[in-house]
A and B are shown apart, each in its own frame.
Chain A
Amino acid sequence: MKGSYLGEFEELLLLTVGSLANEAYGVAIMDEINKETSRNVNISAVHAVLRRLEEKNYLESEMRGATSERGGRRKRYFKLTMIGKKAVVESMEVRSKLYNRIPDLAFKFSI
């Protein structure tokens, strides 16, 4: 397994899965990312990363919710595991800690 750190896209996916609560499956996750970040992510990329995260135990999944437009096929719904939540929280903490250290001056200059 590739270390425990999170890549940018992985983190984004974890956040999205968390935010979609009980409705997080492939297409919905892709839609959400496309909407929130106005990126154009391909469904296959979403699947690949979701599976990777599941292998790292950040996510867990179950199959349910067949619809007719899917030809009666079930969806794989994802939700965060405890480790997943911890990983998200940790990385958010690192970020906010670093963010708070930025002096005001830097902000003013950059604007």
Chain B
Amino acid sequence: MNTAHPPKWADRFLSWYCNPRFLEEIQGDAHELYFRRVDEEGISKANLKYIWDVLRFFRWSNIKRSNSKFRSTGMFKNYLKISLRSMVKNWSIATINIVGLSMAIAVAITMFIFIDMQLNMDSFHTNRNNIYQVVSKVKSDNGQITWGDSPILLGENLKDGHSAVKEYTRIEFSSANIRFAEDVFKENIAFVDPSYLEVFDFPIRRGDEKALYKKEQMVISHNMAERFFGKNDPIGEQMSVKFGNGKVVSMVIGGVLGKYPNNASFKLNCLIPMDHYYDQVKDRTFDWGDFTDATFITMQDGRNPRELHDLLVSSQEKQNEADSKWTVLSFDMYSLEGLSLRNHEISSDIAAGGHPAGRIGMGVISGLLLILACFNYMNIAVTSATKRLKEIALRKVMGGVRAQIIKQFLLENMIMVFLALIVGVFLSYYFFMPGFNMMIPITIPFEFSSLTTAVAFFGGMLLLIGLISGSYPAFYISRFQPVYIFKGNQKFGRKNIFSKVLLGFQMFFAFTTIVGCFVFTDNAFYQAERDWGYDKDGIISIAISNEEQYNGLRDAASRNSDIISYSGSYGQVGRFDGLTNVELVDGTSFRSIMYRVEPGYLSTMNIRKAAGDYFDIEKGTDQSQPVVVNQKFVEKMGWDDPLNQQFSYDSINRTVIGVVEDFISEGFYDPVRATMFFVGKPKQYNYFVAKTTKENAQKMDEYLAETWASVAPYDPYDRVYQEDVFNSFKTENNANITLMLAISIMAVLLASLGLFGLMSFNIQKRLKEFSVRKVLGATAASIVKVASKQYAWIVMISFCIGAPAGYFSIKQLLNSIYGDPKDIGAAPFVISVLVTFITIAITVSGQALKATRVNPAENLRNE
């Protein structure tokens, strides 16, 4: 005999699938043939033929059919039926379970979609693994920072210097006033190299990717096209573009981009060929010291960016020679694939992509809620299983093994989780996702980055939640011995420490979040209602760019009797303020806001006088010495009597003639800052402020807009009602309130559900005890006390830990967010505690009352 042997795996496969009744003859025949073929045709052919035979034997009549009764579908059917029956029988508990779980699942789905989108930014650029942004590591005070900016000459240098670089494109941000017919808007524009549309795969609706190669052409975004042209085709239309240096250029629209995909990390509004940027600074040429906002390069397929190392080093040396102030320590290449994830590392970044803390925070919150819901589930599942101890014992007596019982319970859990998943998807789709979208500046569609992700996510959730929440009851209860269960010796579920710990944790979390939420909301309301330090009604400010515009508006305003007062200013409260350093005699300095205003500005803005006087209007704009400061400024200076104090600023000796009350100028996230007002000249003004009564504000707005069209036809009418200057803050504030409310409502709800489920089972189990108590003359009050005592303890303990925890953590948060948070009083504390206790009381009392209403005759009759 020779030593050859049929391929082991094929042999094993055969023995695995083959019906044992036929295995001997089949394997025998196959082996006999094999050895004959080894002699006749050689081993390798024999191997192949053997495999072929094994595969051919793999037919229905030969395959091993299940021969174990335990695996039969009959048993599965039984499990299904039993679990459906127990669900129907305990429908309220089943509903609690499913609702609780599905809410947490809905949160998890929403967060997952959000995070999933963030992780798949820019995936529509087909070439994105070859595209890199070149960033500069620049020396700074403390170590080095990463700039998104790079030398303007770098891109070309890289392309010419190395064959691995296929193309480059630069982005230089700017803004311009763009006019078409009567419409003028201030638009964000970007000067880009013509290759921009070839490097990136942004959808192009009209025109083609070569559009930017013609210097007179520009490409605009979908949004901008709609703003200017509505539904009309803008191709070939002429627009006049007034660049930052005041030059007006006429350009033709050569292309319109399609709607940006939701996961585009940068969405440029208006693309203009780079040549125009060069035209603006004709008087000099760019050198290595000049930076542009971003440089992207595409590598040739299969080339490694490390190949560019030497070239990048030599470029860095060139830069260092040209610019000694901002020396680049090294250049680095960030792949577009991970750009939005690493974006937070870059200062002056171009791609959107938040700090990972946000993602992690949301992941943690939704994870916590999920765990809470799982606890809930486990708790109720364990207690509800106690009602089925006899069923389990009976199954065991009838020959069921432990593995079967485990399987049965896991299967039941899976069914529950599956139902919860379905409900969760609906909740997320109809409520949570739209709600979440309302709170964030972008809109996230309800979709996954790929089918695989979705399948993996839902499958994973089903398995994970099903196993986590189902394993404890399944593995724990299946261990019980039938004999003890039948004898009634199985002490279980009455003083279950595990359940109590779980419940305690839920309660703790509920108290933490609700106290935190109320403190936070209280502060948010306070910030929204806070006095701004001046009367904001009826004031409008318009951005201007030169003295003629100021003069035009001033003349028009003086002719209108509805306008109570007006003035020009450099800097406008709430919109723009110049920060500067004030140096003291002893050499120390502090930061102060500085406005240069027309003498009438303070009264126009209704800024409240605290001491001294406003500027003297009679003296006109030719007074550089007098200064008006706010109270914070006085405090910083340490003056007891601020009036007529003198200090030097900008090498002019200043005299304080008046003090105004502190007012909010920078928003609510920063504390009020020291502020000073000087008298400024018209040529310095960048705002025109006019005031009328609240009722006339709209009329004044229309009047000024009309004036503006004739004064400055190439510039947009950029006016803001003073009451709207902090609108973005308001939106954010409201979003925060909603988010906190949603989280705490969910936490309290989940905790109450858990408590409810646990109690209702416990009371049902102790019905006989209560009946006996009643027969022996217990009052309703004492029964309520007995029924709820053990839970009262848990609630008290978790309150004592949870409330302070919520209080302190939110206080920390508030101090880090708001410059001037409200002092936390007792009110939010009391309210939140009341709300929670009322919820809990309702939950508990319903159940406890059930205990008092028991009919002893009915409950004791059977024995």
Contact = CB atoms under 8 A, between A and B. Distances in A.
B25 A48 contact: no
B56 A75 contact: no
A69 B35 CA distance: 7
A70 B56 contact: no
A52 B32 CA distance: 23
A27 interface: yes
Interface string A15-27: 0000000000111
B30 A63 contact: no
Given A26-B25, A74-B24, A43 B30 contact: yes
A64 to B, nearest CB: 11
A47 B28 contact: no
B57 interface: yes
Contact of B61 (A25, A51, A63, A67): A51
A75 B33 contact: no
B25 A76 contact: yes
Given A27-B29, A27-B33, A42-B53, A48 B61 contact: yes
A47 B53 CA distance: 11
Given A68-B1, A74-B24, A44 B59 contact: yes
Given A43-B33, A51-B61, 11 more contacts: A25-B29, A26-B26, A26-B29, A43-B57, A44-B62, A47-B57, A51-B22, A63-B24, A66-B28, A69-B1, A71-B27
A48 to B, nearest CB: 6
Contacts of B822: none
Given A42-B53, A69-B1, A75 B25 contact: yes
Contacts of B30: 43
B31 interface: yes
Contact of B25 (A42, A71, A74): A74
Contact of A73 (B25, B56, B57, B61): B25
Contacts of A71: 27-28, 31
A27 to B, nearest CB: 5
Contacts of A63: 24-25
B35 A73 contact: no
A1 B27 CA distance: 27
Interface in B403-445: none
Interface in B1-45: 1, 22, 24-33, 35-36
Which of B30, B32, B53, B61 lies at the interface centre, i.e. has the most chain A CB atoms within 10 A of its CB? B32
Interface in A31-86: 42-45, 47-48, 51, 63, 66-71, 73-76
Contacts of A66: 28
B24 A73 contact: yes
Contacts of B24: 63, 73-74
Nearest to B53: A43
A76 B29 CA distance: 9
Given A27-B33, A69-B35, A44 B28 contact: no
Nearest to B26: A47
Contacts of A47: 22, 25-26, 29, 57, 62
Nearest to B5: A71
Contact of A42 (B22, B36, B56, B61): B56
Nearest to A77: B25
A73 B31 contact: yes
Contacts of A70: 28-29, 31-32
Interface size bucket, A side? 20 to 34
B31 A69 contact: yes
Contact of B32 (A27, A44, A45, A48): A27
Interface of A: 25-27, 42-45, 47-48, 51, 63, 66-71, 73-76
Interface residues of B, number: 20
B529 to A, nearest CB: 86
Give the top 8 A-B pairs by smallest Cβ distance, nearest first.
A73-B28, A44-B56, A70-B28, A26-B29, A76-B25, A44-B57, A69-B35, A73-B24
A51 B57 CA distance: 13
Interface in B53-67: 53, 56-57, 59, 61-62
B1 A74 contact: no
A74 B32 CA distance: 11
A77 B559 CA distance: 121
A42 B30 CA distance: 11
Contacts of B29: 25-27, 43, 47, 70, 75
A89 to B, nearest CB: 28
B8 to A, nearest CB: 13
9 contacts: A45-B56, A47-B25, A48-B61, A63-B25, A66-B28, A67-B32, A69-B31, A69-B32, A71-B31
A48 B53 CA distance: 13
Nearest to A70: B28
Contacts of B33: 27, 43
A32 B643 CA distance: 125
Nearest to A61: B25
A45 B59 CA distance: 10
Interface string B306-344: 000000000000000000000000000000000000000
B57 A74 contact: no
Interface in B539-590: none
Contacts of A68: 1
Contacts of A67: 32
A42 B51 CA distance: 12
Nearest to B38: A69
A48 B25 CA distance: 12
Contacts of A75: 25, 28-29
Nearest to B24: A73
B50 to A, nearest CB: 11
A35 to B, nearest CB: 14
Nearest to A69: B35
Contacts of A43: 29-30, 33, 53, 56-57
B19 to A, nearest CB: 11
Contacts of B57: 43-44, 47
A47 B25 CA distance: 9
Contacts of B36: 69
Contact of B53 (A25, A44, A76): A44
Contacts of B28: 66, 70-71, 73-75
A27 B31 CA distance: 10
Contacts of B22: 47, 51
A67 B36 CA distance: 13
A70 B35 CA distance: 9
A80 B694 CA distance: 112
B319 to A, nearest CB: 75
A74 B56 CA distance: 21
Contacts of A69: 1, 31-32, 35-36
Contacts of B25: 25-26, 47, 63, 73-76
Nearest to B57: A44
Nearest to A51: B61
A13 B134 CA distance: 78
Contacts of A45: 56
A42 B22 CA distance: 17
Nearest to A65: B28
A47 B54 CA distance: 12
Interface in B137-172: none
A48 B29 CA distance: 13
Which of B1, B28, B59 lies at the interface centre, i.e. has the most chain A CB atoms within 10 A of its CB? B28
Contacts of B31: 69-71, 73
A77 B519 CA distance: 89
Contacts of B32: 27, 67, 69-70
Contacts of B61: 48, 51
Contacts of A25: 25, 29
A106 B24 CA distance: 51
A48 B27 CA distance: 14
A27 B24 CA distance: 13
Interface string B721-748: 0000000000000000000000000000
Nearest to B55: A44
A43 to B, nearest CB: 6
A69 B24 CA distance: 13
A66 B27 CA distance: 12
